[in-house]
Amino acid sequence: MNRIFVLFIMIGISAGQSYSITIFGIPAADVVQTIHDSGKIEFTTQNRGIFDLFWPAKNSYEAIYDSNSFALKNWSKNVKQGEFKQHISAKVDFLGYLAYDDKSLIEIPHNIYTIFTLLAMVQSRPYDKLDTKWFNYEQEGLIGKARFVWADTSNAWNGKDSILCDHYRLDINITDKSDKFLDRTDYFMEEILADGVVRELWVSRKKPKRIIRASLKTAWFPVSAIFNE
């Protein structure tokens, strides 16, 4: 079930596009992503059907970033997973620290990125501006590097047509855990960094660029989602 939440965030596309996730043909969740030209990305997730019965969840995530570099300015999340509820917000301050609302100050490199700003960036930049380039990465006090590795140009099905896409693998390497401050986090934040997870994206070449397909290969089973045109 945790892998579904990872896929939530990896499949959204710009301008308020919505997705349905199915697992073994069973509807599992609805996801909406909105990207604003001003430099803001938002996600909302809602479980469906039997998944909502056994694993109820309604989460939202938001990040504001520099519209040119995609470096983080601030981000927040509001999590409701059964009995577990969590709200977090953070902002890059004038000294270059990432200040969380519980007063945790995280020392970060210049121009820091999160999973959310990376997903906004991959839906904007051409593959040759991204391929194998490492970006400074932060996730709730964890510091590391992330990169998109371009695999090929291939077609992905969007529900109606075969769309020419750039196919990427997303690597995230955490190198510093000394500032970790949470004992528990939501499914997505936990599983996006799980050992052995292979994250793949197919992003349309035609503008407006958008993620057509996402895939997670895990130790349990592969999970995939396809854009419903």
Range of the domain at 84: 2-226
36 pLDDT above the threshold of 70:
yes
Domain count, the chain: 1
pLDDT given at position 219:
67
What values do phi and psi take at 125, rounded to 5?
-90, 150
Evaluate whether 192 touches 203 at the Cβ level (below 8 Å): no
Evaluate whether 122 touches 201 at the Cβ level (below 8 Å): yes
Residue identified by tokens 């995280």 is 106
Looking at mean pLDDT, say which of 42-46, 54-58, 75-79, 221-225 comes out highest: 75-79
Confidence of residue 26 (pLDDT cuts 50, 70, 90): confident
Distances (CA, A) of 3 to 44, 87, 95, 173, 225: 16, 21, 36, 18, 12
pLDDT, tens digit, 9 for 90 and up, residues 187-197: 889 888 988 88
13 pLDDT above the threshold of 50:
no
Looking at mean pLDDT, say which of 25-29, 156-160, 162-166, 194-198 comes out highest: 162-166
25 pLDDT above the threshold of 80:
no
Cα(175)–Cα(168) distance, rounded to whole angstroms? 22
pLDDT given at position 28:
81
pLDDT, tens digit, 9 for 90 and up, residues 55-101: 899 999 999 999 999 999 999 999 999 999 999 999 999 999 999 98
What's the whole-number average pLDDT of the chain? 88
Q: Read off the tokens for 193.
A: 């960094």
Q: Of residues 48 and 66, which shows the higher confidence score? A: 66
Neighbours of 18 (CB within 10 A): 14
Sheet strands (E) in the chain = 17-23, 26-36, 40-47, 58-65, 72-81, 84-92, 97-100, 105-107, 135-139, 142-157, 162-176, 198-204, 211-217, 223-226
pLDDT above 90 coverage of the chain, percent: 63
pLDDT, tens digit, 9 for 90 and up, residues 112-149: 999 999 999 999 999 999 999 999 999 999 999 999 99
224 pLDDT above the threshold of 90:
no
pTM for the predicted model, two decimal places: 0.89
